[in-house]
Amino acid sequence: MDRRLFTARELLCLAVLALVLVAWAVWPKSSGAAVVVQRGGGEIGRYPLDVPARVEVSGANGFSLTVVVQDGAVHVENSTCPDLICQRHAPISRSDQAIICLPGQVSISVEGGERRGPDAYAG
Amino acid sequence: MRNGSVKAFALSAMCLCLLAGCGQEDRGQTASIYAMDTVMDLTAYGEGAGEAVDAAVAEIDRLDKLLSAQGEGRDVDGQDIRRVNASTSATVSQETAALLRETLALCQETGGALDVTIYPAMEAWGFYSGEYRVPSPEELSQLEALVNYQAVEVADDSIVTHGDQVKLDLGAVGKGYAADQVARLWKDMGVTSGLLNLGGNVCCVGPKPDGSDWTVGIRDPEDENGVLCQLSGRDMAVVTSGAYQRNFERDGVRYHHILDPRTCAPARSGLASVTIVASSGFLADGLSTAVYVMGLDSAAEFWRQRQDFDMILYTDDHQLYLTSGLAGRVTPAEGLEPQVLDG
pLDDT digits (tens, 9 = 90+) for B274-290: 999 999 999 999 999 99
DSSP string, A38-65: EETTEEEEEEETTS-EEEEEE-GGG-EE
- Domain spans, chain B: 29-66+77-341
The residue among A87, A69, A85 whose CA lies nearest residue A77 is A87
Residues of A with CB under 8 A from a CB of B: 5-7, 9-10, 13-14, 17-18, 21, 25, 38-41, 61, 81-83, 85, 88-90, 92, 97-98, 100, 102-103, 105, 107, 117-123
- Cβ contact A122–B16 (<8 Å): no
Tell me which chain A residues have a C-beta less than 8 angstroms from the C-beta of B239: 122
Identity of the amino acid at B203: C
H or E segment to which residue B298 belongs: helix B296-306
The predicted complex's ipTM stands at 0.88
CATH superfamily of A34-111: N-utilization substance G protein NusG, insert domain (2.60.320.10)
Tell me which chain B residues have a C-beta less than 8 angstroms from the C-beta of A107: 32, 39
Q: How does residue B23 score in pLDDT terms, banded at 50, 70 and 90?
A: very low
Q: How does residue B299 score in pLDDT terms, banded at 50, 70 and 90?
A: very high
- Domain spans, chain A: 34-111
Looking at the complex, does the CB of residue B132 fall below 8 Å from at least one CB of chain A?
yes
* Pairwise CA distance, residues B178 & B305, whole Å: 27
CB B271 within 8 Å of CB B296 = yes
pLDDT of residue A28: 52
pLDDT of residue B17: 44
Q: Cα dist. B82→A72, B50, B75, B92, B123 in Å? A: 45, 32, 10, 10, 14
Tell me the HSE value of A20 on the side-chain side, using a 13 A CA sphere.
9
pLDDT tens for A42-99 read: 899 999 999 999 999 999 989 999 999 999 999 999 999 988 889 989 899 988 888 9
- Cβ contact B201–A89 (<8 Å): no
Segment A96-101 long-range contacts (CB within 8 Å, at least 24 positions apart)? A96/A121, A97/B225, A98/B39, A99/A74, A99/A75, A100/B38, A100/B39, A101/A59, A101/A63, A101/A65, A101/A76
pLDDT of residue B6: 55
pLDDT exceeds 70 at position B9: no
CB B123 within 8 Å of CB B168 = no
Distant-in-sequence, close-in-space partners of B92: CB < 8 Å, separation ≥ 6: B80, B83, B84, B100, B157, B158, B159
pLDDT of residue B36: 93
Pairing of strands B339-341, B320-323: parallel
CB A100 within 8 Å of CB B245 = no
pLDDT exceeds 50 at position B21: no
Looking at the complex, does the CB of residue B312 fall below 8 Å from at least one CB of chain A?
no
**Lowest mean pLDDT: which of B3-17, B95-109, B140-154, B296-310?**
B3-17
Torsion of CA B141, B143, B147, B150, to 10 degrees: 70
- Cβ contact A82–B32 (<8 Å): no
Distant-in-sequence, close-in-space partners of A55: CB < 8 Å, separation ≥ 6: A37, A45, A47, A66, A67, A68, A69
| Angle at alpha carbon of residue B162, lines to B156 and B165, rounded to 5° | 125
Query: CA of B274: which chain A residue's CA is closest?
Result: A123
In eight-state DSSP terms, residue A92 is B
Looking at the complex, does the CB of residue B129 fall below 8 Å from at least one CB of chain A?
no
Looking at the complex, does the CB of residue B25 fall below 8 Å from at least one CB of chain A?
no
Tell me which chain A residues have a C-beta less than 8 angstroms from the C-beta of B292: none
Q: How far is B249 from chain A (nearest CA, A)?
A: 8
For domain B29-66+77-341, give its CATH number from 3.30.1600.10, 3.40.50.12170, 3.40.50.10860, 3.10.520.10: 3.10.520.10
pLDDT of residue B18: 47
